[in-house]
Amino acid sequence: MTRFVSFSFVASILLTSLTARPAVAETDLSRFPLAKAIPPDVFIAVVERQNPERAFLNEYWAEVSKAFMESGVLTDVWDLISENVPDEGLDLFEENAERLCELSEKMDWGALFGKEFVHAGRLKLTSPSPYSGVLMGRSGKEQAKANYAVLKSLLDEVATETLKSIAGEGTATTTESKDDGASITSLRFRDWPGASINVALWNDVILIGFWDDTMLKESLALLKGSAKQKGLTETRRFKQAFSQLPPAEDTMFYFDVERLLSMVRTVFSMYERPAAAQNPVQPVAAEQPSVPKAIATLVKDLSIVDYVASVEWTEDHRVFSDTVTTLRDGAKSSPIYKILASGAPSKDFEKFIPEEAENFGVSSGINLAELYDYVENFVQKNLPDGKNYVGHFKAMQKELELNIKEDVLSLFGGSTVFATMEGDWTLMAKVTDQQKVEQQLDRLLTFVNGMLGNENALIIEPVDVGAKSKFKKISHPMVMPMMMMQGMTPPVLGCAEGYLIIGSSPNAVKMCLKTAGGDHPNIKQSSRWKKEALSPDGAVTSISFTDESKFAQELEESLNGISMGLGMFAMFQGQMQDAPPAMEMVMTGLPPILAKLGPVAGKIDFYQSSASYETFDGDKWYAREVQNYKKKTKTKTKAKASGVRSK
């Protein structure tokens, strides 16, 4: 498999509005047979299958893997670790590590999840760990059998040698059992009752259960058809989620946000009225703010999403994904909904984006005034001494003759535009009162220069950007020489077309304003946009395009730069003498490792670009995204015959 959905993807889903209206369709679950083994009460599930159309990605990443193994980084890391092991334990450490490495080399890691991959997890508050999960992989029957034997040997080694040598006899034990044709090996820990790591083999499937064996055994029962309950894919919520998406061909992702947060709310509900529960005669004490109560309230407010579902498919050298994020009942009454969903969608996203734009993003943004009200009310009602904090903050604003909400935040309409082109960039924010914003800018610059003093003041000069409004170039005597050495120019600032605009140069702003006026071609005229991007049919809450053709080069340069910087810092022996041993180890050992990783990063030269757009209908966010990859002459990938998907 080329990649798995990571928890960073989960985080991005929670922090952004995912959107793009897909065709209503139904995934053929017979393509994902391991999915039937997912228990029904999980909050996260990732299902991936081998697809010949993605063979080019396997080849690309194989080159990266080969470069990594040949770089010597693993040897350097090993030396760095072993050098910091006490002498009296070094021999034992090396013996344990050598045995584990020898066993790992017998493992066919590529075949472990070669045909299918499944990960599922759930919260279990009565478990030794609050999170428990299961990994499942399908490969050839003989491969699975051989890999199970190696995994069993690894668990035995950890129990009988590694942990024994570190913590003593009986620290951990392994047992193997049989369950209706399945073999299960479990690693259990003496000082962590109930916790275990488990590996099972059933036909051509390997299952790995962590923190307890409950999910593994439930998945085995579902695989064998002996379970008393149906799996996740048979539940109403799962079917409803994926009925709103195109058929999955590569990956299915399901995140039951409400199931997760409902359990978190249950945990913190005990803090909502703690004093009343302990002493019902004095219920007033229950209203006193506390940090646990604040967390409980925050979790409730954040509970606006019901579930997230996503599918992926591949067409030639392009990987597409569609995602639906559904709101739970009552979400519209939440203050968080007003913050996230009150922005106006864009009907003409291309208005300010020049044809030359290499990267751009347009978003309806968030309601800053609503966010301010929410934070103020939350602090005042839920945090200990919150009323005093809010009072001090208001007094400070009064002293400065500034009302942050009325004089600043309420002036912004939420929508933002960002674009880079030919080394230049512009950042734009929609304003509700352009004249007042211009007055506030003048006031701000006057205040800053008053603080800096005449001898250290900002240099403010008028510039012509071809707009009716006045723009200013802002610089500082101490910064100008460094900017000139880097070939940079002072930024410009001003208002035009109902936006506050900051640009890297007058030419950048002028190009965007000419585009808005119809005197310069916009991004829709770009041949690259037509070939690599996604064009929505109507208004969008956000849309973006990112040029990734130089990703490998930029990553390699960054790693080399960090390596050189750390190396130069480590040369200052006077500073390193008093440094903690761990810091000294990192500062001296990390630079050569990063230097060797640079050429490895240079092999990741197969990204071309990515694009996405989002829409919102009041109850659901939809997102469509595409990742474009470069075509290499040595890669032969059969083109997809099914044609273009409906949007």
Boundaries of every domain in the chain:
27-50+83-242
- Structure confidence by residue, pLDDT tens digits, 371-430: 999 999 999 998 989 999 999 999 999 998 889 999 999 999 989 999 999 889 999 999
d(CA 447, CA 442): 9
Q: What is the mean pLDDT of residues 544-558?
A: 94
Strands (E) across 297-422 are located at: 305-315, 318-327, 359-363, 412-421
pLDDT at 166: 67
CA-to-CA dists, residue 162 to 80, 94, 97, 175, 189, angstroms: 20, 11, 8, 16, 13
- Structure confidence by residue, pLDDT tens digits, 266-286: 887 776 655 444 455 554 444
Supply angle C-alpha 79, 81, 85, rounded to 5: 110
Q: Is 97 helix (H, G, I), strand (E, B) or coil?
A: helix
d(CA 28, CA 624): 20
418 within 8 A of 427, measured Cβ to Cβ: yes
Q: pTM higher than 0.95 for the full model?
A: no
15 within 8 A of 537, measured Cβ to Cβ: no
d(CA 365, CA 412): 10
Neighbours of 339 (CB within 10 A): 21
More confident residue, 13 or 493: 493
- Structure confidence by residue, pLDDT tens digits, 138-192: 998 999 999 999 999 988 888 887 776 666 777 888 899 988 889 999 998 888 8
- Structure confidence by residue, pLDDT tens digits, 209-259: 988 888 999 999 999 999 989 999 999 999 999 999 999 999 999 999 999
